[in-house]
A and B are shown apart, each in its own frame.
Chain A
Amino acid sequence: MGNVRIKLIISYTILVIGALSMILPFIWMLLTSFMSNSQIFSYPPEIVPEPFLWQNYPEIANKIPLFRYFLNSMIVSIATVIGQVATCSMAAYAFARLNFKHKNILFFVFLGTMMIPPQVNIVPLFFLMRELHWIDTYWALIVPGIFGGFGIFLLRQWFLSFPKELEDAARIDGCNPFMTFWHIALPLAMPAIVTLGIFSFITSWNSFMWPLIVTNSDVMKTLPVGLAAFKGSFRETTEWAQLMAASVISVIPVIIVFILGQKYFIKGIMLGALKE
Chain B
Amino acid sequence: MNLTEKQLQNTIKKSIKKDRKSQELLFKTYYSKMMAVCMRYSRDHDTAQDVCQSGFIKVFEKLEHYNFGGSFEGWLRRIMVNTSIDYIRKSKKELKIIEDESRIETDVFHEDENDNNFVGLPVADVIEAIQQLSPAYKAVFNLYVMEDYSHQEVADALGISQGTSKSNLAKAKKKLRTLLKNKIKYDV
Asked if chains A and B come from one complex, the reply is no
